[in-house]
Chain A
Amino acid sequence: LAKTTQPISMDSYEGQEVNITCSHNNIATNDYITWYQQFPSQGPRFIIQGYKTKVTNEVASLFIPADRKSSTLSLPRVSLSDTAVYYCLVGDRGSGGYNKLIFGAGTRLAVHP
């Protein structure tokens, strides 16, 4: 699985849009990009997944440029409850390596009143 690099921490305020960028320079052709969210003492929770361009769901948007060497998770109008650690993972859906999720240190997002 491709290694990812994210900022260690970010701060924001309620109501702002937060963008967390992840670098994955060695991403392979078959790799998908997935983001998880983890609250303290809870298991990670799937947020969004994409392959290229833009993906949007009810929680977030994921922007992936054409070269796919990076991706940006966008959280619109964050609230205090969005304070969590966000992990970017890159993996292959179809090959034998898909079953291993390698979590990096993640980005610790703190949302302030």
Chain B
Amino acid sequence: EAQVTQNPRYLITVTGKKLTVTCSQNMNHEYMSWYRQDPGLGLRQIYYSMNVEVTDKGDVPEGYKVSRKEKRNFPLILESPSPNQTSLYFCASSPLTGLDTDTQYFGPGTRLTVL
């Protein structure tokens, strides 16, 4: 089944404790992205990647890191989480065929709480 998976789905942590949220897709998509969703603010893009070893900042990259060492994986790293990073996070992927570039496939989400 074609899908985007994220782990963990739920995480409660404390300020300053480094964490990684994994994202994996099995559709051989070149493009991957991370979003956060907050009440009243909608979905905002954190980082995106056009291909292996190619990443770029989205609208709200502060406090986050990403890496793209393999095509299928795009982990989101919070080196020193803070309470304002409490949010619902979504990973998404998309092919870069030029035909469906707006169609992104989203993962199930990771609900992160930073105390």
The reply to whether B98 and A93 form a contact with Cβ atoms under 8 Å apart is yes
- Is B111 part of the binding interface, using a Cβ–Cβ cutoff of 8 Å? yes
User: At the interface, is chain A mostly helix, strand, loop or mixed?
Assistant: loop
A49 to B45, alpha carbons, bound, how many Å? 21
- Give the total of B residues in contact with A, Cβ under 8 Å: 29
Q: Which residues of the partner chain B approach A101 to less than 8 Å between Cβ atoms?
A: 33, 43, 45, 102, 104
Shortest beta-carbon distance from A11 to chain B in Å: 21
The reply to whether A98 and B101 form a contact with Cβ atoms under 8 Å apart is yes
Central interface residue in B35, B45, B104, B105, by most chain A CB within 10 Å: B104
The reply to whether A100 and B48 form a contact with Cβ atoms under 8 Å apart is yes
Shortest beta-carbon distance from A88 to chain B in Å: 12
Q: How many A residues are at the interface, by size bracket? A: 20 to 34
Central interface residue in A42, A91, A99, A100, by most chain B CB within 10 Å: A99
Known: A32-B102, A104-B42, A105-B42. A43 touches B107 (CB 8 A): yes
Q: State which of B40, B92, B94, B103 has its C-beta within 8 Å of the C-beta of A43.
A: B92
A111 to B95, alpha carbons, bound, how many Å? 33
List the interface of chain B (C-beta within 8 A of A): 4, 31, 33, 35, 40, 42-45, 48, 50, 58-59, 88, 90, 92, 94, 98-99, 101-109, 111
List the interface of chain A (C-beta within 8 A of B): 32, 34, 41-46, 49, 89, 91, 93-94, 98-106
